[in-house]
Structure 1
Amino acid sequence: MAGQIPEQDRRVRLLLESARFNEAAELFDQVTATATNAVGEEWDRSTVLAHRALNAWRLGRIPAALELAAEGWTELDNEQPTGVAAAQTIGMLGSLLDTIGHRSSALDLMTRSVEVARDAGDPDTLAQCLQRKAHALLFRATARSDEVDPEEQFAAARELYEEALPLVRADLIRRSVLAGGARALAGAGETEKAECRAQRALRLSQEAADWLSGSLAMWVLGLIRREQGRPEDARTFLSRALDCAEKIQDMLLLARFAQDLSMVCEELDDLVGEAAALRRSLSASRTTVRFLQEGLGQALEQRRAAVQAQQIATAAQAAVLRDPLTNLTNRLGLERRAPGLLEQTAAQGRVPWLVLIDVDWFKEINDEAGHSAGDVVLQELAHLLRRECRTDDLICRWAGDEFVVLLVDASEDSKEAGPIVAERIRAAVDDHDWRLVLGSTEQLPTTSIGVAAGPAELDHLFAAADVALYRAKQAGRNRIEVDRQPPGPPWPAPNR
C-alpha cells in the first residue's frame, strides 16, 4: 500500500496511530487544502480518497469522511473492479463501514477486496485485505452477541491472520497482524502461541510508538493472564491497554477494553477499579454516540444545503423556460420539449397537432385600454387555455399575443383532436366576460386560430399552422382554419 498512497497521506495515518492528533489534523488539512479530490496523476484516486476518508473519520471529520468515501467509491469500476488499487479501495471502504456500524455491508466489501487482491497477485495488498477482514471477524467474535458463533468467528479470523503474516512487508501492517492474530489464537485456545505472538507485537509496537497495535497486544496479554488465573497481572495489562486506547481516542476499543477490565476487577473484589472501568466504558459509549450524532448532524446540514442549492438551481433553470407574465412555457421551452413529445406521439400511432393562436385586435386593445390591461388580457387568455386544454398538452406563449398548443394527450380521437380543441379555445375566448378586465371598451378580444397536423417535426407543423392562421385572419378573424384537415365538417365561426 505504501506505493499506492502519497507520503503525506501515509504520514497522517502514522501520526494518528502515535496519538499525535494535532499534527495529524494539521497535515490532513494541508494535503486536502486545494480540494478534497486533489490527487496527483501518479496515484490511483479511488485508493487515496478512501484512505483520506478513514483518516478524516479518525479525526472526527465525519461529513468530509462520508464525502471522500462516496467519491472514492464512484471512482471504481462498478461492474468488474480489478487490480491492486481496487482491492485497497474496497477494503478501506469496508473498514469505514465497519467503524460506522454497518457491519453486514462492511464484511461483504472486505470479502470482495480479498477476492480482488488474490486476482491482483500482489502479496502485500492481499495481506492488508486479509488483515482488515480478520479484524472485523475478530471483533464480532468478542462482541458477546447471540447473533454470531464466537468459535467460528475466531477460527475464521485466525485462518486469515495466518495467511496474511508471511505475506506482510510493511511494518505497520505486520504489527497489526501479529496483535490481531494473537487474539484469534487465544480465542481458539492456542494460549502459548498467542502469548508469544502478543509479546512480539507489543515489543515492535513500543519501538515504533504504535499505540494502536500496542493496545491490542496488551489487551490480548491481559485476557491470557486472566485465563491463566493471574488476575492482578490481567488487571495491569488491561489497564494499560485501556490507557492506550484512550490515548489514541479509539472509543470502540476503549469500550471493549473497559468491559473486560471491569470483569477482572470484579473477580478481584476491586470495587473501585470495577466502577472506574464501567464509568470509562459508559463514557466511551456516550462519546461515540455524541460523536456520531454531531458528525451526522453536520452531514445532514450539508446535505440540506446541497438540496436547497439544487432546488434553487433547478428553479432558475425552469424559469429560463417559462414566460414570466403568463407562467406558460416560453418559446425556448417549446423548442426543447417539442421534439421528444412529437416523437412520443408518433410512436404511439397518434396524429400530432399544433394549434397556433393569435389574439384579434390586440394592438387596438392596448391603445384603448393601456398596456397594463393588455397584459391582463394575455394572463386571462393563458388561464382559458389551461382550462380548455388537456393535462398533458404543452401550452406555450410563443411571442407577443401569439400562443401555441401542442396536443399530446390521447383522451380524444387524435384524428380530430386539433380542430376540436381549437374550436373549444375559440368559443371560450369569444364567450368570456372581458368587462372586468377592459371595462366598457368597445373592442373585445377574440382569437384567430391555425391548426395543422402532419410530420412529427415542430418547424413543419408550425409553418403549416401559420399558413392556416393567415387564412383565418384573412377570412374575418374569430375563426379557425385547418391545414391538412382530416375528413369532417369545416370549422368556421361567425364574425363578431
Structure 2
Amino acid sequence: MQLEDQPLVGHIPAQDRLVRHLLDTGAFAGADAAFDELLAGGSNYVDARWVRSAVLVHRAMLAWRLGRIPLALELITEGWTELDTQPPSGGSAAHTVSMLGFLLEGIGRRGPAMDLMSLAVQIARDSGDQEALAHCQLREGISRVFRAANQPEQASHQFAAARELCEEAQSLTKLGGVKRTALACLARSLAGMDDLEAAERIAQESLALGNDTPEYYGAAMANWVLAVIRRAQDVLTEARTFAARALESAETIQESFLMMRFSRELAEICRQLGDPVGEAAALRRAVSAAVAAVDILKEGLGQALEQRRVATQAQRMAMAAREAALRDPLTGLANRLGLERMAPVLLERTASAGRIPWLVLLDVDYFKDVNDFAGHTAGDVVLQEIANLLRRECRAGDLLCRWAGDEFVVLLVDAAEDSREAGPRVAERIRSAVNAHDWRLVLGRLEKKPTVSIGVSAGHHDLDQLFAAADIGLYKAKRAGRNRVETGEEDEDPD
C-alpha cells in the first residue's frame, strides 16, 4: 500500500519527500541510496524544525517499503511513543495517526487500523489543515475500497464510506499525486456502487492527471478501476489490457498488496476469456507477490513480537521499580512517599463522593523495650505482625502505611458504614486486635507486650491537616496511659 504521496510541505523534510518520490516513481536504487544518506546522521535524528512523531512514522514507512523491517519497526515504535506524550492535535499529528493506521491495515490489524484512520480524519478536520485532511481521508478511503473488494458482504457500506471520503479529499488538494489517487479511489467506489458511467469518467480523469508526472500508484488504481468496469460490461479484451497495465504499475513500485489484488483480477479475466496461458502467467505473478508479502509480514511479525516482549518486560520492570519505591520493604505497606503520592487522589475521590475521610495514626507502645530485650529481629517481626493485623481489620480500599519506625497510618477513604463514626470504630478494632494478639511465639515471656496508642482525625481533605490533628490525638492517648484511642482536634490544647 502507498502510505504517502508527494510533498507533505510543513510536515515532512524535503529529503524524506525525495525518498518517497523515488519510491513512487519506481527508482528503488536511488531511493535506497537517498535513504542511507538521510539516516547518515543517525536513524533517529530529526531536525527540531519538524514534528518528530510525524517524521519518524513517515521514515518507518519508507524503511518498510525498502524492505528494512527491523528499522521500520524501531522507527514506528519510537514515533508512536513520541505521539503518546500528549493528546494528538494538529495536521502533523493527524498524518502520524493516519500513517500508523495505514501500516496496521497493511499487516492485517484491521480493527485498530480503521479506528486510527478515522481518528486521524477527525484530528485533521479539527486542525483546519486541508492538505492533512485530504491525505488522511485518502488513506482511509483506499483501505475501505480494498476491504470492499475483498469482503463482498461489507461492500455496500465500505464503498459508500470510501466515496464520501474521496469526494472531499480530491476537492481539498491540488497536489497531483494525491488528487489523482483520490479520483481513482472515488472511481472504484462508484464502480462498486454500479455507477459505471461516472466511474469511467473519473478514472479517465485520474489517468489524465499523470501525463506529465510518472506517478504509478494512482495509475495502477485508475487502470484497475477501468478493468473492473470493462469486466462488468463484459468487454473482456479491454478489461485484460487495463488489468495488465494496473499490475505493471504496481510491480514498478513493488507494491505487493496491489500486485496480489491486480494479478488475481487479471487471472480471472483471462479465465473468462479462455486464455489459459495468460491466466497461468497472472497466477504466477500473484504467487510471487504473495510470497514476497508473506516474507515481509513474517519478518515484520517476528520483529514486532520480539520488540513487544522486550517492551513488556521493560514496562514490568519499570512498574515494579516504581511500586517498590512506594512500598516499605519490611511490612509491604505503603511507605511515607507512597502515602504522600496516593493520599491526595484518594482524598479527592472521598470528597467528590460526599464522604468524610479519617486518618488513623498509631504508635507501638514500649517498642524500645522489645528491641532492647528481644532484639531487633524480633522487633522487625512485631512490625510485620502489626502490619498483618492492619490488613485484617481494614478494608481493601483503605490506604495502609508504615510512616516511620514504629508509627503506622491508615487513611480511611471508602467507608461503607456511617463515615461519621468510621475512624474511631476502625481504630478501636485495631487497638483491640493488637492488644489481644498472642505475642509469645515472637517475644517469649517479655513483661510488656506490644500495644498501640492511636490518634484519629476527620473532616479535612488535606493530608497535612488530617495528620496534624491525628498527631494531637496520639499525644493525648500516650499521655492518658497508652493502649487507647483518642480523637485529635487542632483547636484543642493537648495539655
Say which of 360, 364, 378 aligns to 2:365.
Answer: 360
Say which of 432, 449, 453 aligns to 1:449.
Answer: 453
Deviation at 1:396, TM superposition (A): 1.6
TM-score by length of 2: 0.72
Secondary structure of 1:477's aligned partner: coil
The one-letter code of the counterpart of 2:449 is: P
Secondary structure of 1:367's aligned partner: helix
Deviation at 1:332, TM superposition (A): 2.1
Q: How does 1:72-471 map to 2 (within 5 A)?
A: 78=89, 99=106, 102=110, 145=152, 147-148=154-155, 160=167, 168=174, 170=176, 172=177, 188-189=196-197, 204=212, 208=214, 210-212=215-217, 215=220, 231=237, 239=244, 241-266=246-271, 269-289=274-294, 291-345=296-350, 348=353, 350-439=355-444, 441-456=445-460, 457-471=462-476
Query: Which whole-Å deviations, capped at 9, do the CAs of 1:11-69 have from their partners, x for residues lacking one?
Result: 1112212434454345445546646582442x566765564454344335463447647
Deviation at 1:363, TM superposition (A): 1.8
Partner of 2:493: none
Conservation of the 8 A alpha-carbon contact between 2:360 and 2:409: yes
Secondary structure of 1:298's aligned partner: helix
What percent of counterpart residues are identical? Answer: 49
* Structure 2 residue 23 is matched with structure 1 residue 16: yes
- 1:100–1:37 CA distance, 2 compared to 1 (3 A): farther
Partner of 2:62: 55
- 1:476–1:70 CA distance, 2 compared to 1 (3 A): closer
- Structure 2 unaligned runs (5+)? 1-6, 491-495
Secondary structure of 2:401's aligned partner: strand
Question: How far apart in 1 are the matches of 2:187 and 2:450?
Answer: 91
Partner of 1:488: none
Question: How far apart in 1 are the matches of 2:277 and 2:290?
Answer: 20
The one-letter code of the counterpart of 2:409 is: V
Question: How far apart in 2 are the matches of 1:348 and 1:177?
Answer: 53
Deviation at 1:112, TM superposition (A): 6.5
Conservation of the 8 A alpha-carbon contact between 1:53 and 1:69: no
Partner of 1:494: none
Partner of 2:4: none
Conservation of the 8 A alpha-carbon contact between 1:448 and 1:469: no
Conservation of the 8 A alpha-carbon contact between 1:366 and 1:374: yes
Question: How far apart in 2 are the matches of 1:211 and 1:400?
Answer: 74
Question: How far apart in 2 are the matches of 1:136 and 1:185?
Answer: 15
Conservation of the 8 A alpha-carbon contact between 1:36 and 1:68: no
Question: How far apart in 1 are the matches of 2:83 and 2:341?
Answer: 35
Deviation at 1:437, TM superposition (A): 1.4
Conservation of the 8 A alpha-carbon contact between 2:180 and 2:218: yes
Conservation of the 8 A alpha-carbon contact between 1:110 and 1:133: no
Conservation of the 8 A alpha-carbon contact between 1:15 and 1:21: yes
Secondary structure of 2:438's aligned partner: coil
Deviation at 1:382, TM superposition (A): 1.0
Give the number of aligned pairs. Answer: 470
Secondary structure of 1:390's aligned partner: coil
- 1:22–1:382 CA distance, 2 compared to 1 (3 A): farther
Conservation of the 8 A alpha-carbon contact between 2:180 and 2:206: no
Question: How far apart in 1 are the matches of 2:149 and 2:354?
Answer: 66
Conservation of the 8 A alpha-carbon contact between 2:423 and 2:458: no
Conservation of the 8 A alpha-carbon contact between 2:121 and 2:133: no
More displaced 10-residue stretch of structure 1: 469-478 or 27-36: 27-36
- 1:96–1:404 CA distance, 2 compared to 1 (3 A): closer
Partner of 1:38: 46
Query: Which whole-Å deviations, capped at 9, do the CAs of 1:239-292 have from their partners, x for residues lacking one?
Result: 565355334221222123312332344356443432232232244345435534
TM-score by length of 1: 0.72
- 1:347–1:447 CA distance, 2 compared to 1 (3 A): farther
The one-letter code of the counterpart of 1:443 is: E
- 1:20–1:459 CA distance, 2 compared to 1 (3 A): same
Deviation at 1:299, TM superposition (A): 3.3
Query: Which whole-Å deviations, capped at 9, do the CAs of 1:46-93 have from their partners, x for residues lacking one?
Result: 765564454344335463447647866998865xx6xx7688778767
Query: Which whole-Å deviations, capped at 9, do the CAs of 1:166-212 have from their partners, x for residues lacking one?
Result: x7465x5577679879989998358997998798678656xx5x554
Question: How far apart in 2 are the matches of 1:250 and 1:35?
Answer: 24
Question: How far apart in 1 are the matches of 2:352 and 2:226?
Answer: 75
**Greater C-alpha radius of gyration:** 1
Conservation of the 8 A alpha-carbon contact between 2:207 and 2:218: no
Conservation of the 8 A alpha-carbon contact between 1:265 and 1:274: yes
- 1:261–1:375 CA distance, 2 compared to 1 (3 A): same
Secondary structure of 1:451's aligned partner: strand
Query: Which whole-Å deviations, capped at 9, do the CAs of 1:202-224 have from their partners, x for residues lacking one?
Result: 8656xx5x554565677678789
Say which of 470, 482, 488 aligns to 1:483.
Answer: 488
Conservation of the 8 A alpha-carbon contact between 1:51 and 1:92: yes
Query: Which whole-Å deviations, capped at 9, do the CAs of 1:378-429 have from their partners, x for residues lacking one?
Result: 1111111211223333222121112222333423443433333333222222
The one-letter code of the counterpart of 2:457 is: A
- 1:234–1:483 CA distance, 2 compared to 1 (3 A): closer
